[in-house]
Chain A
Amino acid sequence: MTAQERRHKVRDISVRLLQGGKGETLIYLHGAAGMPAWLPFFDALAARHAVLVPEHPGFGASDGPAWMRNVGDVAMYYLDFLDEMGSERVHLVGHSLGGWIAAELAVRNSSRLASLALIAPAGIRVKGVPTGDNFIWSPEEAARNLFHDQTYAEKMLAQTPTEEEADLALTNRFMAAKLGWEPRWFNPGLERWLHRVPVPTLVLWGAEDKFLPSRYAALWGERVPGAKVELIGECGHLPHIEQSGATAMKILKFLESVAVKPKRPRARRTP
């Protein structure tokens, strides 16, 4: 499938956006490494949904307003984004930093959400379970620690980015630090408010995640009412890449379970 790339402006902020597929709207919020290329994972979701992949403000080629200083600000921006779109049933999928943004959005206002799928989300902290320090890792350590299957890491390390790609990666790293450096990848308040997520929620986690350990998944399951937690085997921090088929399948199955069933006409009881 070919995705469309365009710019999208909400209030005074213009962001880059990838778009593909038809159906109910599904918005994918990317992680700290920035907006990925259109992935096979998106193709799988786009078979049944209108998939939108916005590049967060401050990342890549999107506008980066100075006032956007924390993940709460980004979540409020996406509430504006949803209002402007006007859809009443949006499926929100967020990975890592994107999962954190999605959760912050959902506890603030979930009136336009139909469901929430979080893939190895940042945003909360489990005491005594240290996360990886992505800001101290060398590029090689980062590649190796993000994947379980090291052939993915080798492939990533074998690529030499163009100057433009390197510049975008640096921009993304700056914004990632702005949002996630301190406290490292979490908001101490978020865990207290996760009971306010009223929509069906799926939490997916790579069982071998070396950045945000899969032990975090259980706490999400405890805090978000009715959340379904599933681990994905032989998988690191990027399930949508390393196990894209299994990850897409689990999300599609979940989305099917929350789909609005066509109402059967009720037999009228005659008095």
Chain B
Amino acid sequence: MKFTFFHLMPYRPLDLAARHKHRAGWVVLPNELYDPHKGAEEYHSYLEQLSQAEELGFDIIAVNEHHQTAYGMMPAPNLIASALIQRTRKAKIAILGRALPLVNNPINIAEEFAMLDNLSKGRIITGFVRGIGNEYHATGINPYFSHERFQEAHDLIVAAWTRPGPFAFEGEHYNLRYVNLWPRPYQTPHPPIWIPSMGSSETIRWAAAPERKYTFLVTFAGRDLVARYLNLYREQARQFGYEASGDQLGWASPVYVADTDERAREEARAGVETLFNDFLAVPWEMLMPPGYTSLASMKNTIKVRKALGAQKRHRLEDLMESGTVVVGSPRTVREQLERLREATGANNLVTMLQFGVLDDRLTRRNMELFAAEVMPHLRN
């Protein structure tokens, strides 16, 4: 199994009482609540954690993109990736991912990834995402065209990476007379592309297609959904006439390890509960702007949500029970991760070992314990 140390870089000094005077920790959260001096310290702590992950034996260190939010301080994740290239030697660096539909010229993304790939001599893994619904409020991009723009931007970026330039690109959203990337990517034919997703059947089919075979990551889902989506990918691959390899499959999850189950729960509680209730939680209208998903899947989501009833505060115990987070002694954590690996055959585990307000000291211990007590047992 391959291990990714993934970071969201939340703004931990957030005044949570002030946060709840606003409809979300996103888009409308006044940026007066951000203190640059505290924020700068956060960046340093997090860069430290990411580079430490390499020393602890993680195969991949990973960052991602979110806008106008305390949930993650990386509107430009490639800047962090660039810093990480300088601080590390052999770990792969994954940007999971860039939100393609949000830019007006996807060539910018193709260029930046190509630069990072050259700077790192081929240590880059790219992630292509649409961004969550909130992002469409933050950027003004029309969610109705999100899928279209994603597909078109993907086609443009891959063409820019692989087709000899200059050539012209003629699309609906993007039209360029000259596509001619300098520099070209370091890896051949191009850096790996991963697709982190909440899991929609359209995305799974698209990622699994033989001409792509992109690694599919299920993010922020309970164990049943992780198993269902990853097996759906396997099933799709079979329908395409091939067997998906474990490297094509992965899932992402907050993980916390301490010497006993009880201690793990106690130490992880604030981090997990703030992650879900204070940083991530947003109203439906922000999360699901019209057109962000197809009409049919939006109707489905609404039905599921109705059946679940009014959204209550997420408690650690519930999140543990559904397997959305994995918290416990090394043995508990090993067993749970092993079970999901067996159920899915996935070879990629993307761990989030810092989450919510979890402080540096506990994060460091969590990382060390995970690396010493969990990782070796799952390494096949």
**B-contacting 9-mer, from A165-173, A236-244, A253-261:** A165-173
Restricting to B33-70, which residues have a CB under 8 Å from any CB of A?
none
CA of A167 to CA of B300 in the docked complex: distance in angstroms? 11
Query: Which of these binds chain B: A146-154, A177-185, A211-219?
Result: A177-185
* B302 pairs with A170, CB closer than 8 A: yes
A136–B290 touching, CB < 8 Å: no
- Which single member of B23, B142, B298 contacts A182 (CB below 8 Å)? B142
How far is the CB of A247 from the nearest CB of chain B, in Å?
Answer: 28
The CA of A26 and the CA of B355, in the complex, are separated in Å by 60
**Cβ of A81 under 8 Å from chain B:** no
Contacting B283 at CB < 8 Å: which of A138, A167, A176?
A138
**Complex Cα spacing A136 to B134, Å:** 10
Distance in Å from the Cβ of B258 to the closest Cβ of chain A? 40
| Given A135-B289, A135-B290, A173-B290, CB of A178 within 8 Å of CB of B142 | yes
Query: In the complex the two chains form, is A170's CB within 8 Å of B283's CB?
Result: no
B27 nearest in chain A by CB position: A136
Closest Cβ–Cβ distance, residue A73 to chain B (whole Å): 13
Segment 110-168 of B: residues with Cβ below 8 Å from A: 136-137, 140-145
- Cross-chain contact A182 with B140 (CB below 8 angstroms): yes
Contact A137 B285 (CB under 8 A): yes
Within 8 Å of chain B (Cβ to Cβ): is A41? no
A38, CB-defined interface residue at 8 Å? no
Are B283 and A178 in touch, CB under 8 angstroms?
Answer: no
How many A-B pairs with Cβ below 8 Å? 51
> Given that A173-B290, A181-B143 are contacting pairs, would A135 and B298 also be in contact in the complex, using a CB cutoff of 8 Å?
no
Q: Which residues of B contact A135 (CB under 8 A)?
A: 137, 285, 289-290
Closest CB in chain A relative to B106 CB, distance in Å: 17
- B285–A178 touching, CB < 8 Å: no
A131 to chain B, nearest CB (A): 13
A174 contacts the other chain (CB 8 A) = yes
Chain B nearest Cβ from A213, distance in angstroms: 20
Which of A137, A171, A174 has most chain B Cβ within 10 Å? A174
**Which residues of the other chain, A, contact B289 by a CB distance below 8 angstroms?**
135, 177, 181
B134, closest chain A residue (CB): A136
- In this complex, the member of B136, B141, B144, B302 whose beta carbon has the largest number of chain A beta carbons within 10 angstroms is B144
- Counting chain A residues whose Cβ lies within 8 A of the other chain, the interface size class is 10 to 19
Residues of B within 8 A of A182 (CB): 140-142
- Find chain A residues with CB under 8 A from B302 CB: 166, 170
Partner of A138, one of B140, B143, B145, B285: B285
Interface string of B255-296 (1 = CB under 8 A from A): 000000000000000000000000000011110011100010
**Which residues, 297 to 347 on B, are CB-close (under 8 Å) to A?**
298-299, 302
A177 pairs with B140, CB closer than 8 A: no
CA A167 – CA B302 in complex, angstroms? 10
**Closest B residue, CB atoms, query A166:** B302
- Contact partner of A174 (CB less than 8 A), chosen from B284, B286, B295, is B295
List residues 180-232 of chain A with CB under 8 A from any CB of chain B.
181-184
Q: Would B142 and A136 count as touching, CB distance under 8 A?
A: no
> Do A171 and B295 contact each other (CB < 8 Å), given the known contacts A138-B283, A177-B290?
yes
On whether A176 and B285 interact (CB within 8 A), knowing A136-B137, A181-B143, the answer reads no
A174 vs B289: C-alpha distance when bound (angstroms): 9
Residue A177 contacts which of B23, B144, B283, B286 (CB distance < 8 angstroms)?
A: B144
Q: How far apart are A34's CB and chain B's nearest CB, in angstroms?
A: 13
Q: Which of B336-374 contact A (CB under 8 A)?
A: none
Max chain A Cβ within 10 angstroms of own Cβ: one of B136, B137, B285, B291:
B285
Alpha-carbon distance A182/B136, docked complex (angstroms):
10
* Set of chain B residues within 8 Å of A183, measured between Cβ atoms: 140
Residues of A within 8 A of B143 (CB): 177, 181
Measured between C-beta atoms, what is the minimum distance from B129 to chain A in Å?
A: 20
Between A and B, 5 residue pairs with Cβ closer than 8 Å are: A136-B28, A170-B302, A174-B291, A176-B290, A178-B145
The 10 closest A-B pairs by CB, nearest first: A177-B290, A181-B142, A178-B144, A173-B290, A182-B142, A174-B290, A177-B144, A177-B291, A174-B291, A182-B140
Given contacts A136-B285, A136-B286, A181-B291, 10 further A-B contacts (CB under 8 A): A135-B137, A135-B289, A170-B299, A174-B144, A174-B290, A177-B144, A177-B289, A181-B140, A182-B140, A182-B141
